[in-house]
Structure formats: C-alpha cells, structure tokens
A and B are shown apart, each in its own frame.
Chain A
Amino acid sequence: MPAPPFKRILVANRGEIAVRVIRACNELRIESVAAVSDADRDSLAARMATRSVCLGPAPASQSYLRPELLVMAAKGTGCDAIHPGYGFLAERADFARLCAGEGLVFIGPPPDAIETMGDKLAAIELASAAGVARVPGSGIIRALPDARDFVRRHGLPVIIKASAGGGGRGMRVVSIDAELPRALEAAAAEAHAAFGDPTLYLEKFIERARHVEVQVLGDRRGHVVHLNERDCSTQRRHQKLIEEAPSPALATSLRARVTEAALLLAQRAHYEGAGTVEFLLDDDTQRCFFLEMNTRIQVEHPVTEMVTGRDIVIEQIRVAAGEALSFGQHEVKLAGHAIECRINAEDPVRNFLPCPGRLEAGRPPQGEGVRVDTHCFPGYVVPPFYDSLLAKVIVHAPTRAAAINGMCAALDDFEVAGVPSTIPFHRQVMAHEDFRSGRVTTRWVEEKFLAQVIAGLAPDRAHVGA
C-alpha cells in the first residue's frame, strides 16, 4: 500500500462535513484531529476522530471562525494539514496563507485562486474569456434614457438592482415598458432609504432560471477534470434544498458547452483541489450564464460521487499532498441518477423556523443506493449556534424516475423524533408533478409550491413527539 498522503489532518469544521472528512481520513489511514467548540465536545466528529481539541466557546466567532486558534490547535497536536470543510474559513484566502506560513497544508486551492474567484469582477472576466458571460447587465443608470437603451438592446423583462444593495432590497422586476419610469423612481427611493445610495443598474431578468453547477478537480501538475453537472434548482430564498445529478434540464449540446467552459475557467485560474463553477440556465432559451465559482467542497458533492463513483474528498486530500489526480477526463463515466435531500431541523409549516433541540430517536433509511451523510445520533442535541442541517439523504438509481421513487421510500423510512424536520416538505416535493417532470425553477418553491402545498404539510408522523 502506498504511504498515506498526510500523517495527521486537523478537521476545522463541524457537523456532517467533519464526519465526512474523518471518514476519508480513516480510509486513507490518516489520523484525524477534530477541532471543536465547547458545544460540540460530545459530537460524532469528536468521538470518531483520533482525538479532539476544544477551541473555545460555542459561538463560531470564538471558535470555528478563529484562524489563529485552528492553526495553534493543528500545530499543538502535530498535524501536517488542515481540512476546512465548507462554510466557516473554507474560502478565506488569508486563512490559507496563514496555514502555509505556519508550515501547514491547507486542503483547498492556493490562496491566489481563492482570492481571484472571490473577486466577482475578476471571476466574471475569467469566465467570459472561457466563453461564458454573466447575465447581461447595464452600467450605472443615471437617467431614464439609459434604462430605455438597455431595454432596447436586451428586451423585457429586466430587474432593477441597487448598486449598494443586497438581500433583495431595492430590487424590482419590470415586464411592461410603461412601468419603467415609475419603477426606477421607486427603486431609487428604496435604495436610498435602505443603503443611503440611490444608484441603480439593470439586469436582464431570467423568468425561468435553473441553477446548474459543474464540479471540477485540479492537481498541482496542471491537470484539471470536470465531473459533470449538478442541478440545484429546488431552492428557497437562495438556499439549496434538493440537488441532483445529472440535470434534467440540460440538453446534451449545452452540457458539453458548460462543462467545457468550467474546465477552461479552472485551467486559467490554475485551479487545484475541488471547486464548483455555478451557472444560471435560462430554461426558455437554453442559454447559460456564469454566476460564480466556489473554491471548496460543496454540501451537495455526494450526488456527483454517486453518479461518477469517484470520492471527491479523498481526491481533494491527495492532490493537496501534491499527488496527481487518480483519473483522467476520459475515465469519468456517468451511471444513473442521484438525488440529495437536505434534512434540516426546521419546521416547514412555520416558515422553515429553525428548531434546535434534542433528537429523541432517529432511524436513518437504508437500502440499495441509499446513502445518509449525518452527524446525528439518538440523544444528540442540535445546538442553536450553527446551521440546522441534520442529514443529507442521497439516493442513487438507474433512472431519474427510479431515484425519485427510491427517495420517497427513503423519506418514509426516515424517522426523526424530538425536533421538527423538513422531511414532510421533501416528501411533498417528490410527489409533485412539476418536480417529477423536471420543470422546477429557482423560484418555484416560493412562488408556486409553498402556496399550493403548505396546507398539506400539516403535522404528520415525523412530528410525533416534537
């Protein structure tokens, strides 16, 4: 057997991804150190790791988000590498630099690549050089004629956005030409009130948008491969809820174009490790636009692992140690269809209110093609300090229809008691004709599904004991 790529890895994260990374370490015969907050001392990750160290108090700002504590913990326990997981410090170039400066390998892309992709304009430039533009947008709109000019070139509908904006405030969709002047006025007033800056710009509005993303992997020797796409269109407030691979909405010719573009983008960025290039697909015109690149392992990576048979986390660790990718592009084959449902400790009936608490009992589903990534166990207390993800249920089957049916069975089989969960929500989505026929867009959950189905989400047996 070849020597392990590292001696000991510090897992700088929590929850299911910490467990996932420790599993990969075990498989590679690498020792693992779980760096935990006070609230996670008894977590599954802390129990599974070779050893664990307590960083600080429960709030992430005093534990998981403190680069210097993580580096100290890694050095103090004799680790030679740090895996950042997702979230927390995973996409912080300064953390990656700090690790390198202290002689620790950061399991992720080089700091410069993180920085480039974190800079929206630089990323957009790289993407357009790779053949994918972002959604058409205007410069600053100074007066009505600027807006009319943009509409003439790109057509309606358009969305008005605030330059200083974020979080949806100051945004307005305009579908009728006559409404443009009044909408601009109202948006400027709203932007001024919200951000103290009335500056606006326009973007072409994609009515039926799907979220499609391409998984890439690169090594230090300049090899880059893609593992095809995932479709994450089932979202609520920009939070992904269900992901699948391959996308049911992507025509073969378009699939080739987006994967090519993602590959080219990764090559030009001298990308190493695992990354994801996100696109917005206009379902009506079948045009793709660049959104951004994430320079980390994604929550939804398992669906890609299931259809390609490749272990992305293991590959990520190996290339961080300087090894070559273990396979080439021509060896990437797709088999069947995989769907992932994120089971959160949230109450779908109460507007997805996060509900921390104690899991009285729980029985994860089992069976052919069923995978559950979780850090939960009976008696586990879901702490109120972090996200509410309890488990990811992944089902792999020969066809999409079979995967949906398999997911229905798995969800029926999944018992969660003590806290409300999103299982009933997922059951209803799986049963919905729009999802089954692959017609879901990024606004479908909020605009259609919840209005239509929320009544059907009344308490059911998954809530018993809650």
Chain B
Amino acid sequence: MDLTYRDVQSILKIIDDAEHLDEIELVIGGFRLHVVRNGASKSVSIGAPVPAAERKGPAPAPVPAPAAATSPTRATEVLLPEGVLAIRAPMLGTFFRAPAPGEKPFVEEGQRVRADDTVCLIEVMKLFNSIRAGVDGEVVKIVAENGSMVEFNQPLIFIAPDRRDQS
C-alpha cells in the first residue's frame, strides 16, 4: 500500500496519544506496524529496512553487533513508518529549532524542505552546527525538544521525502 504524508501523521498521532499503552499494533490492509515502548527487547521494526539516506552524520562503527542488542542507552530508538526518515544528531549537544532565541524556527511540522535547507542547530560549547535536511520532502514531526541536550545519533526531526517516481 502507499502511505501518504497524512497517513504517517495520523499514525504518529495515534502513537503519541497512546501514552498509557506499552505496545501498539496497527494493521491497515497488508501494512502492519508493531510498536513497543521503552526500548523493550521485543521491539521490531516494520517492513522494509530503513533507507540508507536515513543515516545522517557519521557512519556507525563497523563492528559486529554485540550479542545483547538492547541497552539502557537506547531509550531514544524509534520505529519509523516506511519511507519516513529521521534526521539524527551528528554529535552530542544542545538542540535548537531557531537561529536565535525569539526568532522564527527553521522549520515547522508540515513544512516542505529542500535537501540543503538548515532544519535545526546543535550547539556544543557556543559552537553552532547547522543540520541540513539531507533530502527534499516534508517535515512530519519534530521529536527533539528545543533547548534540550541530545545524544549522538538521537532522532531530531522526521521527514517524509518526496517520492522518487514523482520527480
């Protein structure tokens, strides 16, 4: 089935609204989404593997995965609907949505972005790193909290890239 941006948004809303649930299973036709909260070891990712473009920033270490796949540090692991990409923090730092306090945020949910648009800043000791979208598409959700510390590789913003067959 084809997922539209609107579908993705509704799905994310369902998940958001279901704070009291540990586990959600969503079936729409042949599409099945299984979400487990708090990084429980059973969590499975859906359907297709995460596209390569999703790997923002430095590539992960080329080591074999350890036997124990879960870790207390993986609380930030999220499961994305097919075709939705996460822009991740290339380093530990403070996440900022706007170029300066009081100014307009770089992007809002629902906004269209181009690949080289700046979507947020990561500040490390007064040094501001511009983070770019990396793909053309629409901002589905901003998951990091403005002004909070984010870890390396933590998802910041979800983007639904433009479909290739349309371009």
Contacts and interface: CB of A to CB of B under 8 A. Distances in A.
Interface stretch (A54-62, A147-155, A192-200, A297-305): A54-62
A51 interface: yes
Contacts of B67: 358, 378-379
Question: Among A36, A56, A385, which residue has the most Cβ atoms of chain B within 10 A?
Answer: A56
Given A53-B73, A53-B151, A57-B58, A381 B124 contact: no
Given A53-B151, A54-B92, A57-B58, A358 B64 contact: yes
B96 to A, nearest CB: 13
A446 interface: no
Contacts of B148: 76
B1 interface: no
Secondary structure type dominating chain A contacts: mixed
A72 B152 contact: no
Interface string A49-89: 00111111110001100001101110011000000000000
B144 to A, nearest CB: 13
A38 interface: yes
Interface residues of A, number: 33
Contacts of B149: 53, 72-73, 76-77
Contacts, number: 89
Given A72-B94, A72-B124, A42 B71 contact: yes
A47 interface: yes
Contact of A385 (B58, B61, B91, B94): B61
A69 B91 contact: yes
A380 interface: yes
A383 interface: yes
Contacts of A73: 92, 149
Contacts of A11: none
A164 interface: no
B155 to A, nearest CB: 13
A378 B60 CA distance: 23
B74 interface: yes
A39 B62 CA distance: 9
A52 B92 contact: no
B93 interface: yes
B146 to A, nearest CB: 14
Interface string B43-72: 000000000000000111101101110011
A41 interface: yes
A49 to B, nearest CB: 8
Question: Among A36, A63, A72, A384, which residue has the most Cβ atoms of chain B within 10 A?
Answer: A72
Contacts of A37: 61
B92 A379 contact: no
Contact of B93 (A72, A77, A378): A72
Interface string A366-404: 000000000000111101110000000000000000000
B77 to A, nearest CB: 11
Contact of B153 (A47, A54, A380): A54
Contacts of B66: 42, 379-381
B63 A46 contact: no
Contacts of B100: none
A381 to B, nearest CB: 5
Interface string B86-107: 0000111110000000000000
Given A72-B124, A383-B61, A46 B68 contact: no
Nearest to A356: B63
A277 to B, nearest CB: 34
Nearest to A50: B72
A271 B72 CA distance: 38
Interface in B72-88: 72-74
A38 B71 contact: no
A378 B66 CA distance: 10
B28 interface: no
Contacts of A378: 67
Given A38-B60, A54-B151, A46 B92 contact: no
Interface in B94-148: 94, 124-125, 127, 148
Interface string A287-316: 000000000000000000000000000000
Closest 9 CB pairs of A and B: A76-B149, A379-B67, A68-B125, A58-B61, A57-B58, A54-B151, A54-B152, A39-B61, A42-B71
18 contacts: A36-B73, A38-B60, A41-B71, A42-B68, A42-B71, A46-B73, A53-B92, A55-B152, A57-B58, A57-B60, A58-B60, A58-B63, A62-B91, A73-B149, A358-B64, A358-B67, A380-B66, A381-B63
